[in-house]
Amino acid sequence: MTLNINESPLDGSVDEKLFKLLVANVKDYAIYLVDPNGYILSWNEGAQHIKGYRADEVIGRHISIFYLNDDVEKKRLRHNLNQALKHGMYESEGWRVRKDGTLYWANNVLTTLYNDSGHLIGFAKVTRDFTERKLLEEKQAQINTELERRVKQNTEQIIANELRFRKLIENSYEGISLLDENLKVFYRSPSAERINGWQQGEREVTSALDIVHPDDRPAVMLLFKEMLKKPAEAFFVTCRALHGKGYYLWLECVFTNMLHDESFKAIVCNFRDITAQKNAELEREKVTLDLVQRNKDLEQFAYIISHNLRAPVANITGLSTLLQHTMTEDQESADILKALAKSIDNLDDVIGDLNQILQVNNEVNDKIEKVSLSHLFKEIQIGLSSIIQKNDATLKCDFNEVEEILSLKGFMYSIFQNLIINSIKYHRPGVPPLVNIRTELKDDCIHIYFKDNGKGIDLKKYGNHLFGLYKRFDQTVKGKGIGLFMVKMQVERLGGSIQVESEPDAGTEFTLKFPASIKAEE
């Protein structure tokens, strides 16, 4: 587009009043005229506002003063003027320079001016300050660039996480299956296919309950109902499931309802094959039951033997006594009868010990009751008064932490009595026996300590058979070797355990441990 005017502004014939009225006082636009060579001919108030120059400072100067001082901008100025000449009008944008050296983003429109004769008389230039818009655009561009960067980064992270998740699933030892709200499997991990033998796409039209063993199905159905009511909560179950080849295997499963989660929308099942462990457990139970039965059979046999031996031994004792009165009184016969009587006494003792052991090992008929250890200790002191006085022994007790327990009083009496007698019997020559008994509640267990100042025991030599039947570590002290055996049996029947610490000539300490639950409420 070109603009034709009647007279050239170069000869001063343009109506200046009209020009001022229309252009001079416009403040938002810089509107001015330049000659064909680019020299400024006029200047309005908007130009002064935008560019900072007064009219007397700029008229007659070349418009290149508004461009950046480099070759690129100089070429751009020539390019803009050439485009305006070619097309009649040309619009461009770019950074321009104000009087004070600051930059602003200018929107420029160059329009060629011709007189009636068609001769070029110059250009009309309209400039608007779009700096604020440009900065907003650049800021928005930066924001968009940052958003694109973040989106790209997040997308890459999501892809990386998905790949890691996929690799984790594909290489997991456990099987992973995803079920819908109807309990139909729509995904199986490679390990799931390996474990249960079902390939992707198989058994997906029916409920997962269909492959659960009929005996286990009711319990699994109850678990599913509860699981659907409690999203994100893990539910554990052990059951038998049908293998793809037609047999059942034991699975340990964890079900988690993630149907509410948009990223899952599935019931997640993690499971592993525990068939070998389960079979081993069942086998152990079978062996245990078999051993229990055999033990009962042996106990019954021993009871019958000990019971049936009582009568023959009594008869032999009677016959031996009769022989003593009928045989001639010679030394050889007397010695034979004496040896026979001793053998009969030993056999009778063995039968008595056997009955005592069977009494502990049989089913306990006594009832669990509240046992006061202080009262029990006093009863034992009275019962052992003669042996305590004979050996000048001292017994001390401290039951402050645990004074009452729920137990079998008969067993506890026997345990205390045997350990106290054992400490007194194995005292050091010339050193009066001292036995300290105390209780302690520690590590969720009740500890009962029996510590003495006696001979001590070489545990390296005798530790392995200290609690054995008829095992004795000091032949100089009279005894049968049945006391500690009985103590161990009775402690274990009460659900406890016994330990010993000892050194020769440094005394011995027996420690009984029982579950803290046997402590009686105060």
Q: Is residue 268 part of a domain?
A: yes
Same domain, 383 and 510: yes
Whether the predicted pLDDT of 214 surpasses 90:
yes
Asked if the structure places residue 165 within a domain, the reply is no
Q: Does residue 343 share a domain with residue 206? A: no
Task: Note whether residue 479 is domain-resident.
Answer: yes
- CATH number of the domain encompassing residue 328: 1.10.287
Confidence band for 150, pLDDT divided at 50, 70 and 90: confident
* Percent helix, strand and coil across the chain, each to the nearest 5: 45, 25, 30
Q: With contact defined as beta carbons under 8 Å apart, do 396 and 365 qualify?
A: no
Whether 110 is covered by a domain: the verdict is yes
Compute the average pLDDT of residues 421-444: 90
**Domain-embedded: residue 161:** no
Give yes or no: residues 416 and 514 share one domain: yes
| Strand duo 103-115 + 2-5: pairing | parallel
Is residue 297 one of the residues assigned to a domain? yes
Smallest CA-to-CA distance from 282 within 245, 240, 223, 247 is with: 240
Listed residues 236, 257, 273: the one ending a domain: 273
Higher pLDDT, 239 or 303: 239
Q: Which of 361, 393, 426 is the last residue of a domain?
A: 361
Task: Please give the residue that has the higher pLDDT: either 128 or 28.
Answer: 128
The whole-number pLDDT of residue 204 equals 58
Q: Domain check: are 15 and 95 in the same one?
A: yes
pLDDT in tens, 452-499: 998 888 888 877 777 766 555 555 656 556 778 888 888 988 889 999
Of 519 and 325, more confident? 519
Question: Given a cut of 80, is residue 28 above it in pLDDT?
Answer: yes
pTM comes to 0.40
Q: Which pLDDT tens digit goes with each residue over 493-516?
A: 888 999 999 888 888 999 999 998
**CATH code assigned at 71:** 3.30.450.20
At 5, the pLDDT band (50, 70, 90 cuts) reads: very low
Same domain, 445 and 397: yes
Instruction: Let me know whether 334 and 388 are in one domain.
Output: no
**How many domains are contained in the chain?**
4
Average pLDDT, stretch 400-418?
89
**Nearest of 356, 348, 352 to residue 313 by alpha carbon:** 348
Nearest to 184 by CA among 208, 201, 202: 208
What is the per-residue pLDDT for 489? 85
269 and 284 housed in the same domain: no
Distance, in Å, from the CA atom of 412 to the CA atom of 431, rounded to the nearest integer, reads 28
Residues 184 and 305 both lie in one domain: no
**Residues 422 and 444 occupy one common structural domain:** yes
Beta bridge partners of 185: 179
Separation CA 517–CA 303 (nearest Å): 34
340, pLDDT greater than 70 = no
- Domain end point (choices 101, 129, 157): 129
CATH of the domain at 418: 3.30.565.10
Long-range Cβ contacts of 133-141 (<8 Å, 24+ apart): 133/105, 134/105, 135/105
Q: Are residues 377 and 503 in the same domain?
A: yes
In a domain, 228, yes or no: yes
Are 98 and 197 within one domain?
A: no
- Domain-embedded: residue 153: no
Q: What is the average pLDDT across 110-131?
A: 90
Query: Of the given ranges (41-55, 92-106, 199-213, 385-399), which has the lowest mean pLDDT?
Result: 199-213
φ, ψ of residue 484 to 5 degrees: the values are: -70, -30
Helix residue ranges per DSSP H, 171-208: 190-196
Is the domain of 260 the same as that of 292? no
More confident of the two residues 297 and 441: 441
Residues 191-200, mean pLDDT to the nearest whole number:
82
Residue 13 has pLDDT above 50, yes or no: no
Q: Residue 418 sits in which domain range? A: 369-518
The Cα 432–Cα 435 span in angstroms is 10
> CA–CA separation, 42 vs 35, rounded Å?
10
- SS3 of 278-303: the string is HHHHHHHHHHHHHHHHHHHHHHHHHH
